[in-house]
Amino acid sequence: MTSPLDPQIAAALAPILEHAGDLTPPPAGDVEGRRTALNGMLSAINNLEPAAGDVRTTDYHLTTADGAELLLRWYTKDGAQPGSAVLYFHGGGMILGNVTMWDGPVSRIVSRSGVPFLSVEYRLAPEHPFPVPVEDGYAALQWLHAHAGALGVDPARIAVMGNSAGGGLAAALAILARDRGGPAIARQLLIFPMLDDRNTVADPYIAPYAAWSYDDNITAWQAILGEQAGGTDVPALAAPARITDATGLPPAYIEAGQLDIFRDEDLRYAIALSRDGVPVELHLYPGAPHEFDVIAYESDAARHAIAGRVRQLRSL
């Protein structure tokens, strides 16, 4: 049977799959096992492409209402004039990863777009389950608005963006900011976002290529929601796919891969937003698994995806 993978992505993915074939995945529910197995792999994948040499970073710190200190890393391109800005949330299922691990991808998109990013070191589950991560995001949004003048940012031109779990957090933050009457969000850029805690049954077509597996997904949602995961009382602020009224949310840019376990929830979310009058631009990449943009960064699909993000950012 011919592989459904995009050939260019398949070529880039082959050595990673060969290495992964020697590893035994942690069982569902094992958060620490995933941190051990995936943190290093994600860091390596994110740095396959050379780093941007024309981007500078400045670290700020935010103290939350409950006394936690969050790292906020501000990325700016040399010579670029601020105006718009992006509040960014990294991936990792809300159970692993950190700001530094995503320095490469963030600096590269800042270099290509000229738009500054503020990357948030939100707290992770299960040590800090829902609603802590989204509340951390809301505190960071308030911080960026409060410091917009000092950073040269127009508060009417602030977007939220994230990949994977970070995309889910960006979507949840857009809902929370709407429900609380601000601060304003101009746009939400959701890159293969993790949105639905009910996504636990493996699709046999996708499972062999799932860089983020169904067991990973089960583990993450149980860490975030505990016994509520998959139940009837999960709010949209925890799992945005649960939304029943998207009216008033900011325009959305959504990407999904055909071989990503988040494919169906991402497509349904785009439809849910569209039905309630939210402008949506949706891209589904054939033969593309999760994180294809950094794994196969020279592929046509990755180049198209990055170009779309840059276009969106430059239009803020």
Cα–chain-centroid distance for residue 23?
A: 26
278-309 burial code (b ≥16 CB/10 A, e <16): bebebbebebbbbbbbbbbbebebbeebbeeb
Tokens of residue 134, six digits: 């989204």
From residue 106, give the alpha-carbon distance in Å to each of 10, 120, 195, 233, 239.
Answer: 24, 12, 21, 35, 24
Residue 180's SS3 state is: coil
Residue type, 179: D
Decide if 209 contacts 259 (C-beta within 8 A).
Answer: yes
User: In which element (H, E) is residue 41 found?
Assistant: helix 31-46
Cα–chain-centroid distance for residue 258?
A: 17
* Positions marked active-site: 164, 260, 290
